[in-house]
Structure 1
Amino acid sequence: MSSAAEIDALEPAAGARPARDLPDWQRVALNGTTLVVLWNHLWFSDLSDRTLLAAAEDGSLVTQLLFLGLGLAMAGALWRLGLERLRPLASWPLLALATWLAITIFTSVEPLLSVRRAILLVIAAMLSAGILVVARSARQFALTLAAAALVILIPSFLGVALVPHLAVHSPFDVQADPSHAGLWRGIFPFKNEAGAVMVILIFVGFYVAASASRLYGWLLVLLAAAFLIGTNSKTALATLPVVFAVTTLCRVFRGGFLRTLLLLGPVAGFALVSIGSVFLPPVKDLLDVVLSDASFTGRSEIWEFAVENILLRPLQGWGYGAFWMTERTMYATGDIQTWVNTARHGHNAYIDAALMLGMPGLALVLLAYLIAPVRDLQRITAGQGIDPATMLFLRLWFFAVISASFESVLLNGNNATCCMMMMAVFGLRLRASHRMIAG
């Protein structure tokens, strides 16, 4: 089956509205634009602007308008093609997570803020799923990914060469560490975001090489790898070889238990290296011998601050998107105000999940984003090899869940890694569901 998500071949349900086709140019234009926006939509930010230090409760008007416009366009395309194609995504782990997130909005300390930010997440999820349905075939999907990648890469390189004050970190950046000066960020707001997208584009390059064009694919891999080195993004550079090693071994170890251990073992290991370095003295002592900074960039203060606040509201959490970069956090009265109060997120997606959704929410995140995708992978492969599209989804998913120990990338609809992780989870779900139906 050549469809990007193997969902186009499903028969419409009885009584369903007859689906209509979309011209290829509309499919490519919609998916290409969506990918570019999901990867980055705030180009060439001026990080010396001191207004960036203010609380961000109102959000970005540009972000809101872009996501709303694209959301309406994608909703129209999905309606035309047939909403029944999305039915396999209504799995109980995803529905349970969505339901609990909705409940925590009502218990949020800032309900209206949670609603606004949850709407962005829902639109991002729809866009991530819609890409898979709108793509007519694996080849069209691959070529659209390649074109969108070049739209990101070419301006990023040109920015470093022609407008370095907008594409390279400087000592005058108000929200960046002074040690970041000279590191590339291209069209992105921060070097870590640029590094994460470059890793994504490397995965895209390998998929393009396997599905459409070796020349274009390898060109993307080389360009993205070169820019990644320029960012010196520690999380991206550290996780990239792990992703390749583990996903390659998944081709060798096809048994359910071994493959599950292979995939979830590193997730637990990275969590232990990060959080364990702060809260488990034996782990910290061991890591101090081999690593100068187990948190990679001194995130331990943020994690301690976050855990203290998780314990204040362990059941319902503070509410989706209602903690970091709010007046409550940034300007709260206290004995000591530090740089931690101005953190944009918790630099750990699992901690942030517990902080926003409480411990039950964290459990559902682990179920929907870790356990269910591994189960779907096993159903897709069933002891067989891994095809290029499944490998792309596997790499995108695995990169996100191990990066989650150092970046907040699982519940942030305004983050490229989160959006690609959702696309990967949805892609694995669609392919697994179609295989079961076809069988």
Structure 2
Amino acid sequence: MPEARQQGGSEATSTLGHVLFLAVFTFYWITLTPFVDLTGAAAVDPVAGNSNALNQLVAILLFGSLTLFFLTHRRGVSILGHVWILALILLWAIFTSATALHPDLAIKRTILVMMIVCNAAIVLVLPRTVEDFARLSAIVLFAMLAMCYFGVAFRPTLAIHQASEIREPMHAGLWRGLFSHKNSAAAAMVLAVIFGLFIARSWSRLAGWAIVVLAAFFLSQTGGKTSTLVLPAILILGWIIERFPALRYPVILGGLGSFNLLAVGSAVSEPIRDWVRGLGVDATFSDRADIWRFAFEAISERPILGHGLQSFWQTDNLVYSGSTVETWAAAAFNGHNAYIDTVVELGLPGLLLTLIWLIFLPLRDYGRAQQSDNNPALTRLFMRIWLYAVLLSCLETIYFQGGGALWFCLLVSVFGLRLQSSAQLVPARYRQPSAFLEARHA
């Protein structure tokens, strides 16, 4: 009887963990507000101070549920990894928020970001096995893809960009599915392809390759050039650094540094701009150069403290300041470069801390994970997600966002690489609750 009760309790705990996993992944992949109408006048209003009461309530409930589950059932598991760097970033974000023009907004965004960080760390210990992780991920991905294709087929005005849209009518005809923009849809489809390859290797070939095919075709219809080009690049770069570990630092750091130098440099340096044009590349990087020049002006005003987390772009005082008369970039949603935006919001010290947390430490953890006996397919999944996010961050703002699949999955990959490097996966024959906790399953 005691064994039966223990087994029943273990199954109940496992089921609850799976339910929480599905809830969290659904919240970030599908959100509570799919199929946004972009044709209304409100589409051009500043959104920095906007808040959705239901979204905030659900976010708090999920955070509370995950934290309670972790403290009750998984408290023996080390999840946050490099706590010192997270503590420094949190303290610096709070300090810069207190000095920002919109301190209330910046502090609220800081709290939200830290909740997402904790959610991403805890979600990794909810599945009992790698197969569970793959199966549960597949359920959410199939739901996301089904909604996207349903929208295209039956709700095209909400799932395909329209010429009647106020802000960007030039995107008419491009698919966006349940997402608010074609670029967001493209990023999600790339992530789905990466997950699909992992699912095919770790759980079901049929399900995994179905996700890959469906996501790849949808990606081709989004017109997301950056994501489409980055996908094969990360598969190739991932293959190189997996087979030649000594190259991971020069390849990744050199690639990030060179690309940012060329892209951002073309916005402020005429010689670099001419050289980029000579390569046959759009030196404006789809009009991002104007945004980067404007961002550098903002950086020059507060290079150390920044303007506060998510408290610069799309604020009322910026959009209605008259700067939009001088340049359209003042009305941009973000800086379209995560590294520049980090300086804009958190200053140069914030950028340094972010680079340590999201670039240098994951690179080191990946090297250690390769030397461990843990599942290589899981390590490869985390590495590909991380690599995609940090490369795409050269042209899109991803770091410290309030929600969305890409920022959440980047955090999952960072914590996943840490666990793969420092913890031991439980072999199938030892998948009892006690061994599960002692081994600190990733």
TM-score normalized by the length of structure 2: 0.89
Q: The residue matched to 2:325 in structure 1 has which SS?
A: coil
State the distance in 2 between where 1:396 and 1:335 align. 36
For residue 368 of structure 1, the aligned residue among 353, 357, 361 is 357
- Do 1:45 and 1:166's aligned partners in 2 also have CA atoms closer than 8 Å? yes
Q: Does 1:108 align with 2:97?
A: no
Shift of 1:295: 4.2
Q: The residue matched to 1:311 in structure 2 has which SS?
A: helix
| Residue in 1 that maps onto 2:321 | 332
- Do 1:380 and 1:435's aligned partners in 2 also have CA atoms closer than 8 Å? no
| Residue in 1 that maps onto 2:435 | none
Amino acid at match of 1:353: T
State the distance in 2 between where 1:426 and 1:205 align. 20
Shift of 1:339: 2.7
Large movers: runs of 4+ above 6 Å? 383-386
1:331-387 deviations in whole A, cap 9, x for unaligned?
114583543222111111001000000011011111111101001111111398970
| 80-89 vs 372-381, greater mean Cα deviation | 80-89
| Residue in 1 that maps onto 2:13 | 23
Q: Does 1:45 align with 2:36?
A: yes
Task: Assess, with a 3 A threshold, how the Cα gap between structure 1 residues 233 and 360 changes in structure 2: closer, same or farther.
Answer: same
- Do 1:251 and 1:386's aligned partners in 2 also have CA atoms closer than 8 Å? no
- Do 2:309 and 2:345's aligned partners in 1 also have CA atoms closer than 8 Å? yes
Task: Assess, with a 3 A threshold, how the Cα gap between structure 1 residues 295 and 34 changes in structure 2: closer, same or farther.
Answer: farther
| Residue in 2 that maps onto 1:214 | 205
- Do 2:266 and 2:276's aligned partners in 1 also have CA atoms closer than 8 Å? yes
| Residue in 1 that maps onto 2:132 | 140
| Residue in 2 that maps onto 1:421 | 410
| Residue in 2 that maps onto 1:9 | none
| Residue in 1 that maps onto 2:389 | 400
| Residue in 2 that maps onto 1:5 | none
Task: Assess, with a 3 A threshold, how the Cα gap between structure 1 residues 353 and 237 changes in structure 2: closer, same or farther.
Answer: same
For residue 242 of structure 2, the aligned residue among 222, 228, 251 is 251
Q: The residue matched to 1:89 in structure 2 has which SS?
A: coil
- Do 1:53 and 1:174's aligned partners in 2 also have CA atoms closer than 8 Å? yes
- Do 2:302 and 2:347's aligned partners in 1 also have CA atoms closer than 8 Å? yes
Q: The residue matched to 1:108 in structure 2 has which SS?
A: coil
Q: Does 1:241 align with 2:232?
A: yes
Q: Does 1:73 align with 2:87?
A: no
Q: Aligned-residue CA RMSD in angstroms? A: 2.2
- Unaligned ranges ≥5, structure 1: 1-18
Q: Within 5 Å, give how 1:288-299 maps onto structure 2.
A: 288-299=277-288
For residue 165 of structure 2, the aligned residue among 173, 194, 207 is 173
State the distance in 1 between where 2:10 and 2:66 align. 15
| 40-49 vs 289-298, greater mean Cα deviation | 289-298
| 289-298 vs 239-248, greater mean Cα deviation | 289-298
| 34-43 vs 299-308, greater mean Cα deviation | 34-43
| Residue in 2 that maps onto 1:390 | 379
Task: Assess, with a 3 A threshold, how the Cα gap between structure 1 residues 81 and 383 changes in structure 2: closer, same or farther.
Answer: closer
State the distance in 1 between where 2:208 and 2:190 align. 14
- Do 1:206 and 1:218's aligned partners in 2 also have CA atoms closer than 8 Å? yes
State the distance in 1 between where 2:123 and 2:12 align. 13
Q: Does 1:118 align with 2:107?
A: no
| Residue in 2 that maps onto 1:35 | 25
Q: Within 5 Å, give how 1:175-214 maps onto structure 2.
A: 175-176=167-168, 178-214=169-205
Q: Does 1:226 align with 2:217?
A: yes
Shift of 1:62: 3.7
Amino acid at match of 1:32: L
Aligned-pair identity in percent equals 32
Shift of 1:97: 2.0
| Residue in 1 that maps onto 2:148 | 156
Task: Assess, with a 3 A threshold, how the Cα gap between structure 1 residues 236 and 87 changes in structure 2: closer, same or farther.
Answer: closer
Task: Assess, with a 3 A threshold, how the Cα gap between structure 1 residues 380 and 167 changes in structure 2: closer, same or farther.
Answer: same
Shift of 1:235: 1.6
- Unaligned ranges ≥5, structure 2: 1-8, 426-437
Task: Assess, with a 3 A threshold, how the Cα gap between structure 1 residues 72 and 335 changes in structure 2: closer, same or farther.
Answer: closer
Q: The residue matched to 2:124 in structure 1 has which SS?
A: helix
State the distance in 1 between where 2:424 and 2:91 align. 27
- Do 2:284 and 2:290's aligned partners in 1 also have CA atoms closer than 8 Å? no
- Do 1:324 and 1:344's aligned partners in 2 also have CA atoms closer than 8 Å? yes
1:121-173 deviations in whole A, cap 9, x for unaligned?
11211221121011111100000110000110011011101110010001111
- Do 1:251 and 1:385's aligned partners in 2 also have CA atoms closer than 8 Å? no
Shift of 1:282: 2.6
TM-score normalized by the length of structure 1: 0.90
1:306-336 deviations in whole A, cap 9, x for unaligned?
1101010011001111101111211114583
Aligned residues: 417
Task: Assess, with a 3 A threshold, how the Cα gap between structure 1 residues 157 and 310 changes in structure 2: closer, same or farther.
Answer: same
State the distance in 2 between where 1:322 and 1:20 align. 45
For residue 423 of structure 2, the aligned residue among 409, 412, 434 is 434
State the distance in 1 between where 2:132 and 2:324 align. 57
